[in-house]
Amino acid sequence: MNDENTSIHEFDVNLICEYFLGMERQGPGSPKATRKALSFIDSLNEKSRIADLGCGTGSQTMVIAQNALGLIEGIDLFPAFIDKFNANAAKLNLCNRVKGVIGSMDSLSYGNEELDVIWSEGAIYNIGFERGLNEWRKFLKTGGYVAVTEASWFTGSRPHEIETFWTDAYPEIDTIPNKTAQMQKAGYIPVATFILPENCWTDNFYIPQIPAQEAFLKKYPGNETAESLITNMRREAEMYSRYKQYYGYVFYIGRKI
Ligand code: SAH
């Protein structure tokens, strides 16, 4: 890649980060769903170590901190998200237990069996569900938990349009029983699965984006990255409203054996 491309690429990434920085969440979810997933995880204490991978600005991380004991590290690729994450932790007086660190979920520097919980909402798709579960397992203590949300099919078959949309975006999307079997195969006992309610996508993700999209297009008129980002986000929201009975995010909670 030459310098010119690098700088264009960086500009694109900065623009995309700016768009999502303005949102409370960078993916579908809710405090209630985070608390529900946490309710399947027992045995945490003040010394427990929790890693939240692909934490974004930390909306769910702060909910974990407010509802569970332990020390929590949020990891995200993008420095601007981590800055906001740490500012959010400071605002909530959680700095003694919650820390955001720049890093990648595919090159984590934890030692073997160091962690009690690995959390990841709307982010494991970046390296893939199976790869993430397999690679992260070594960092967990035996009996430790993994809790992730992952795009999943609700039915055995679905209309062609949504099938194509998802297999282009994330070919690893699969049915809940298949994902659960993958979790088992990766060395975890599947403890619970539940579907994220619709409001996690609408009220907490797509609806807040509507005014932000207008503002963004006004701020960057004629900018191709901005325009294609917004076109994609609008199409994604439209697909969701049309086909939400066929897919959604599912929380998968597993225990390392
Ligand atoms: N968990 C947050 C953010 C989900 S969006 C929420 O639910 O609101 C996905 C996040 O994964 C983004 O913040 C993105 O920056 C991050 N990400 C993408 N690739 C990553 C990688 N390789 N390592 C760590 N984080 C990554």
pLDDT for res 205: 97
What angle, 0 to 180 degrees and rounded to 10, lies between the N-to-C axes of helices 224-243 and 207-219?
160
Residue 133 and residue 249 in contact, taking contact as beta carbons nearer than 8 Å? no
The answer to whether residue 74 sits within a structural domain is yes
In a domain, 79, yes or no: yes
pTM over 0.75: yes
139 DSSP assignment: G
Q: What average pLDDT is seen over the chain?
A: 95
Q: Is residue 2 domain-resident?
A: no
Residue 152's nearest CA partner among 180, 174, 185 is 174
pLDDT per position as a tens digit, 24-47: 999 999 999 999 999 999 889 999
Domain-located, residue 104: yes
Q: What is the pLDDT of residues 179-237, one digit of tens each?
A: 999 999 999 999 999 999 999 999 999 999 999 999 999 999 999 999 999 999 999 99
pLDDT of residue 49: 98
Has residue 1 got a pLDDT over 60?
Answer: no
- Span from the CA of 54 to the centroid of ligand 1 (angstroms): 3
- Tell me which residue has tokens 């070919």: 171
In a domain, 40, yes or no: yes
* In-domain check, residue 202: no
Assess if residue 190 is contained within a domain: yes
How confident is the model at residue 8, as a pLDDT? 63
pLDDT tops 80 at residue 10: no
Per the structure, the complete domain to which residue 87 belongs is given by 26-197+245-256
Best residue for ligand 1 mutational test, from 76, 85, 124 (most atoms within 8 Å of Cβ): 76
Residue 3 has pLDDT above 60, yes or no: no
Query: Residue 115 in contact with residue 51, Cβ under 8 Å?
Result: yes
Rounded to the nearest angstrom, the distance between the alpha carbon of 211 and the centre of ligand 1 is 23
Give the chain's domain count: 1
CA dist 171 and 175 (Å) reads: 12
122-136 mean pLDDT:
98
| Span 41-64, pLDDT tens digits | 988 999 999 999 999 999 999 999
79 has a pLDDT exceeding 70 = yes
Atom index in ligand 1 nearest the CA of residue 26 equals 8
Q: How sure is the predictor about 5, in pLDDT bands with cuts at 50, 70 and 90?
A: low
Quote the DSSP letter at residue 43. Answer: -
CA of 4 to the centre of ligand 1 (A): 26
In a domain, 204, yes or no: no
CATH of the domain at 46: 3.40.50.150
